[in-house]
Structure 1
Amino acid sequence: MSFSVAPPSANVPSTNQPSSFVLLTIKANKLKDRDVFSKSDPICVVHELMGRTTTNEQWIERGRTEMIKNCLNPEFAQKIRLAYFFEERQFLRIELYDVDNSSQKLEQQDFLGCAEIELAEIVSSGGLTRKLTGMHGDCGTVTVSADEDDAGGAKEILQLRLRGEKLDKKDFFGKSDPFLNFYRRLDSGDRQLAHRTEVIKKTLNPEWKPFEISLQNLCGGDKSRQFQIECFDYDNDGGHDFIGSCQTTVEDVAMGRVYSLPLINEKKRVKKGSKYKDSGILHFISAHVVRQETFLDFISGGTQLDFAVAIDFTASNGQVHQPNSLHYFAPNQTNQYEVALRSVLEICQHYNSSKKFDAYGFGAKVRPSSAVSPVFNLNTTEQSPTVLGVGGVMAAYRAALQKVDLYGPTNFAPVIKEAAKRSARIGSTGARYQILLIITDGVISDMANTKRAIIEASGLPLSIIIVGVGNDAFESMDELDSDDRLLSHQGWTAQRDIVQFVPLRNFLSPTNAMQGKEADHAMAMLAKEVLAEVPLQLTSYMKSRSFKPRPPNDPWPRDPEPTPEQLAAAEGAHYPPQNQYPQNGGYGAPLPPPHQPIYPNPNQPYPQYPQNPSPYPPQSYQPYPPQNGQGYGPPGSFSPQTQHFHATPPTRQPPYPPTTQHDVLVQSAPSAPPVDMNDVNPYVQLGSQNPPYPSAGFQNDFSNISLR
């Protein structure tokens, strides 16, 4: 009996590929007239800021439009093609010139004005108008829109189902562990790995799972260009044994001209001569070329991305007023939490027109309460966790440090469940998708509950990004970031991979410098790593639910955009008074007397659960169990309350039944409102009295949810 395992990690295709390619359409209005006897002859030049991830920044010209004679309101026909990366901040400078001579040098032409725009702003808005600057007076405006470039098979995929027959024996006991590599042939003569199948163990007649390959990756969109397939026998030491190879084209397999191909081992053919026939046969059970919906299809159709952040306020971060604390604010420097927040949010903000974020903290006591809050609103005084703008999140974070006592434990499950509740209320329309960013410094205390929470949320419109700060080893995080295989726990498997984990230290300089260009570089590198999988996660979810993007000319209605004044007010709303303790310089100051730190020695290790000068007698203190649920209380004379919940196998209906939200169709894409867990029960509509988790003793946290 054969079975499959994860593919070998060697030679995995590079993820440093653009999410898509876009074509910019540009027009200008009310340009300055720089000519004396006629109107200006404008041309538009687009530059992109490159090198942000290498600290060697420079503006590179990406293209020019045609010149239009005697026109102050030009509409340029020439498109500018750009690679689009969702995970990067791509700064563009749009420059307009009045052409006075045949020279290609821009400095010899008359400058008319420029505007700097992020590419994400353009693709997420359907078109953006900015005032031109750089000269005295009114320079006019420039309008830029972006359409996805469908040339070169960018939106086409090849769906394949393959099996092998009578493959060569490579293992000692007369079997092989075969897998396939697909290679694209480049114009340079080199080749590039485009896809790898899973490994089928102990068989000479394997049948691989159906899979898809982008035509852009496989053949550059040219269906008549040959690609190569190589078959290997998998070895644990990485020295995979070559079985044989074949070549074909997308055109041949998709049109049914080729049903099977011999796998040829050239060395064996030369050695055996005419006695050699082949090393097995590769059969094409099915092959179809289909058009796929892309990330930009959904964004152009008005799909909004909702973002939530959760910040670790456990005591292992160190005392806030000490320079070695991960939460410490030094003058003119950025701490690691701020780097992680800005790196993700400054990119994500462009994909939600409301610029609103749900912001949480966990693992702290929010004054004046002496109880530990498993999840609390970062703005601490508000009924809603919603904060306006990136500046609002940063302000709420700094203010929260003045209002909480760091404590513990490091429990992820409550935060993930909170995000799952909101994702469940987004509805089954494809109008919204949620991303949760968790920033933490240490080992998860509730790994079992966290796995269950992720598995249960894997059927929701949700992606989870975890950033590790500090110098912890973070070995357990690899269990959650299941790139090679889907996350499983106690016999239950996630429906899809929704978690991405990255430690921030991978992108810091040897000195951990966190100011100026060093901080910008760290943010650019971190964002590129943690956000790269989001487009695929979104499209895989939409595909699993058969959601189609709305047409660009009839998109989902956008949420109202805040004014610059509202964003500025949000950024300053939560800040405590500056320089309250001038001896230490503002936010890096010690806390006032009833909140003096318990461990004044900065070299002393910080416990996960510090014993505050207690309202609770020491003899009644009961430590937290190593993996408790979200319903624990403060340390005291009573035991923690543990609440378990259940995950859903991919073969069953997910715990969140589809909801109908007609208001989405007639009004606007709904924001995720606060959810009362006492109002919801997903299993009521499933027609089953039995929860999906079979293990005795589990009690579903979502048992009171009712989605309508």
Structure 2
Amino acid sequence: VVRSSLHPVFSKVFTVDYYFEEVQRLRFEVYDTHGPSGFSCQEDDFLGGMECTLGQPAQKWLRQVMTRVSVDVLGPAGHCTKHFLCYDGPHLARTSPCDDLCLPRATAGPVMWWTCRGGRTQGWQIVAQKKVTRPLLLKFGRNAGKSTITVIAEDISGNNGYVELSFRARKLDDKDLFSKSDPFLELYRVNDDQGLQLVYRTEVVKNNLNPVWEPFKVSLSSLCSCEETRPLKCLVWDYDSRGKHDFIGEFSTTFKEMQKAFGEGQAQWDCVNPKYKQKRRSYKNSGVVVLADLKFHRVYSFLDYIMGGCQIHFTVAIDFTASNGDPRNSCSLHYINPYQPNEYLKALVSVGEICQDYDSDKRFSALGFGARIPPKYEGVWGGRAHPLPPTGIQGVVEAYQNCLPRVQLYGPTNVAPIISKVARVAAAEESSGEASQYYILLILTDGVVTDMADTREAIVRASRLPMSIIIVGVGNADFTDMQVLDGDDGVLRSLRGEPALRDIVQFVPFRELKNASPAALAKCVLAEVPKQVVEYYSHRGLPPRGLGVPAGEASPGCTP
């Protein structure tokens, strides 16, 4: 609750699991409360609400949604206390005076845009846009004056990455009578309760007052809980085989200080024994510890690239071969039933509605194969009638329905030209040297491809490009031979033996999900896309746009 404010900024943070392949619906509502506690919706004045999706699906990354609400007027003058509710799917949750609120995961439901009764589309998505400001709406879609709500999304999966450290020391105190010290170093993280958590213990360097310890790797989460200013403590000991190690000295720092000092060439600390320092005025140190090397390997996630402005371009290719049956016949896979979508439309809408949230212009390429269009074959649906790509998934659906009466289903089922066509566009983007454009090709077919050798060759070439391929088999054909294109059982190779650089194909028989919800189909089909996006940009060493690779950092790695 923010009291007496027409422009409240809510500090409450909602932590929400974000899944690329799922539609996650959110609703925000703002109330003016009257009571001292302010938690009775029935007595509070409803100031307006806004519906949106979290980004229209996602994968296993966490998302932090910080809500900032700007509300004009409404409520008693001088005492305009605001409170908002938030729900995900059918689950309702509200802010409270304490404890962050974790929203429950969305349940399965139809894939569709939110539409108010007044006819206004409220399908706003926030992950791909980072920040969304929309008007607050009252019942029946009426505007709540000039009131607006701003929702900000921030990735809190952590500053993903790991650190490679190498320490050495010089002039350490000699703790042994007949030989030199056998030093080892321990690195600790200071927790919130001021307790020490051991992060790493080096090996013992025998009989040496100027030891050089082996480099080691540690995740940023383990090192400092992804907080670069969290205190760290290093302790140096003289090893004793009986376990009674002699304390040599210690020093404190932070990961941020380590980075700065290493960059300036001054990464060394006095190794101090507090007891000696207290007793001896002339005491300076018990040696010096030097950070010999520091490499920060940042591991970016799919969300990092999306938040960096990477656009996901969606292309759909539909099988118009004769094996689908005459579209005028109710038994045809292309039959347009006014009461129920066919399998092609179900798969198209389920996947397309998710992908469209990550494409700013919402213009999708619609391709077809296996058809004969008078007076000659053309690959693009009604190319003359539609000079521009259809807008949004609904535009693709309309283009598909409009072209059916004008084409003759023919053959063969050759998909290599389709893959090569999209690959040429992706290849042009590859030369930009930025993580800005990624391409998803959805192929819907009712049978095994007839140009298998060429298809394998095209996929192997495409595996080096910013591109993923999803193949959905519709109908009841035997798709056993199609499984070879999905690299789950081994690396796909061309007939010449050339291996695919990465697995970019996901094959799904539609009949296995025929009775599942559109959300379940989309989840199955798109689950591998985030991993494929990260693998491509990681292999190219491309960070998300706007982040770059600062000095001292290595090239980006791949998040699991």
Residue in 2 that maps onto 1:149: 156
2:514 pairs, out of 508, 516, 520, with 508
1:392 positional shift: 1.1
1:460 pairs, out of 462, 465, 476, with 465
For residue 401 of structure 1, give the secondary structure of its aligned residue in structure 2: helix
8 Å Cα contact 1:359/1:385 also seen in 2: no
2:52 pairs, out of 113, 117, 137, with 117
Matches within 5 A, 1:366-445: 366-369=373-376, 373=377, 376-382=379-385, 384=387, 386-426=389-429, 427=431, 428-445=433-450
| 1:129–1:421 CA distance, 2 compared to 1 (3 A) | same
- Correspondence 1:329 to 2:336: yes
Moved more, 394-403 or 422-431: 422-431
- Normalised to the residue count of structure 2, the TM-score between the two structures is 0.59
Question: What's the CA shift string for 1:297-316, capped at 9, x where partnerless?
Answer: 11111111111110000011
Q: Name the count of aligned residue pairs.
A: 360
8 Å Cα contact 2:138/2:144 also seen in 1: no
- Correspondence 1:342 to 2:349: yes
| 2: CA distance, partners of 1:425 / 1:387 | 22
Residue in 2 that maps onto 1:132: 136
1:382 positional shift: 4.5
| 2: CA distance, partners of 1:213 / 1:498 | 30
Residue in 2 that maps onto 1:499: 505
Give the letter aligned to residue 99 of structure 1. T
For residue 117 of structure 1, give the secondary structure of its aligned residue in structure 2: strand
- Correspondence 1:524 to 2:530: no
| 2: CA distance, partners of 1:473 / 1:313 | 18
Give the letter aligned to residue 551 of structure 1. G
For residue 332 of structure 2, give the secondary structure of its aligned residue in structure 1: coil
Give the letter aligned to residue 469 of structure 1. V
For residue 125 of structure 1, give the secondary structure of its aligned residue in structure 2: coil
- Correspondence 1:70 to 2:70: no
Larger radius of gyration: 2
8 Å Cα contact 1:90/1:119 also seen in 2: yes
- Normalised to the residue count of structure 1, the TM-score between the two structures is 0.47
Give the letter aligned to residue 503 of structure 1. P
| 2: CA distance, partners of 1:348 / 1:526 | 13
| 2: CA distance, partners of 1:360 / 1:415 | 8
| 2: CA distance, partners of 1:531 / 1:415 | 20
8 Å Cα contact 1:306/1:435 also seen in 2: yes
Residue in 1 that maps onto 2:490: 485
1:361 positional shift: 0.5
For residue 501 of structure 1, give the secondary structure of its aligned residue in structure 2: strand
1:477 positional shift: 1.6
For residue 377 of structure 1, give the secondary structure of its aligned residue in structure 2: coil
8 Å Cα contact 2:370/2:412 also seen in 1: yes
Give the letter aligned to residue 390 of structure 1. I
| 1:439–1:551 CA distance, 2 compared to 1 (3 A) | same
1:105 positional shift: 4.2
Question: What's the CA shift string for 1:71-103, capped at 9, x where partnerless?
Answer: 121111222111111111111101111222226
Residue in 1 that maps onto 2:308: 301
| 1: CA distance, partners of 2:340 / 2:153 | 37
| 1:327–1:137 CA distance, 2 compared to 1 (3 A) | closer
Question: What's the CA shift string for 1:324-383, capped at 9, x where partnerless?
Answer: 1111111221111111111111111111111111110000101233xxx3x611133257
| 2: CA distance, partners of 1:109 / 1:546 | 53
| 1: CA distance, partners of 2:295 / 2:529 | 26
Gaps of 5+ in 1: 1-66, 160-211, 223-286, 510-520, 554-708
| 2: CA distance, partners of 1:340 / 1:406 | 20
For residue 548 of structure 1, give the secondary structure of its aligned residue in structure 2: coil
8 Å Cα contact 2:434/2:545 also seen in 1: no
Matches within 5 A, 1:560-571: none
For residue 488 of structure 1, give the secondary structure of its aligned residue in structure 2: coil
Question: What's the CA shift string for 1:554-578, capped at 9, x where partnerless?
Answer: xxxxxxxxxxxxxxxxxxxxxxxxx
8 Å Cα contact 2:438/2:467 also seen in 1: yes
Gaps of 5+ in 2: 56-124, 165-216, 228-293, 549-560
Give the letter aligned to residue 83 of structure 1. D
| 1: CA distance, partners of 2:439 / 2:493 | 22
1:290 positional shift: 3.6
Residue in 2 that maps onto 1:471: 476
| 2: CA distance, partners of 1:403 / 1:534 | 34
1:384 positional shift: 4.8
| 1:489–1:431 CA distance, 2 compared to 1 (3 A) | same
- Correspondence 1:365 to 2:372: yes
| 2: CA distance, partners of 1:529 / 1:367 | 37
| 2: CA distance, partners of 1:127 / 1:221 | 23
| 2: CA distance, partners of 1:396 / 1:386 | 9
Residue in 2 that maps onto 1:537: 532
For residue 154 of structure 2, give the secondary structure of its aligned residue in structure 1: strand
1:138 positional shift: 2.5
Taking only the aligned residue pairs, the percentage that are identical comes to: 44
1:214 positional shift: 8.7
Structure 1 outlier segments of 4+, above 6 Å = 212-217
Question: What's the CA shift string for 1:231-268, capped at 9, x where partnerless?
Answer: xxxxxxxxxxxxxxxxxxxxxxxxxxxxxxxxxxxxxx
| 2: CA distance, partners of 1:389 / 1:213 | 45
For residue 386 of structure 1, give the secondary structure of its aligned residue in structure 2: coil
